[in-house]
Amino acid sequence: MRDPLKAAATAADISAAVRAGSVTARAVVEAALARIERANPTVNAFTAVAADRALERADGIDAARRAPQPRCLRPSLPL
């Protein structure tokens, strides 16, 4: 699998890629978790990693992106 973190230079790039659907939030989180797993034994930057919670939130983001959006005239006036 292509590492979505290598292709994007900034957090804004990653966010835009998720919004555009070119990468899933889950793929981004999985790539970040893999980096943490590889690097943390050396850099010891993380004392705790909430991987399950991060993956659940990513799945929620992906589900919301796939859900049909309500049609509206204005954001505060759903039809």
- pLDDT tens readout for residues 10-36: 888 888 889 889 999 999 999 999 999
User: Residue 11, class by beta-carbon neighbours within 10 Å (0-12 exposed, 13-18 middle, 19+ buried)?
Assistant: exposed
pLDDT in tens, 53-74: 999 999 999 999 988 876 655 5
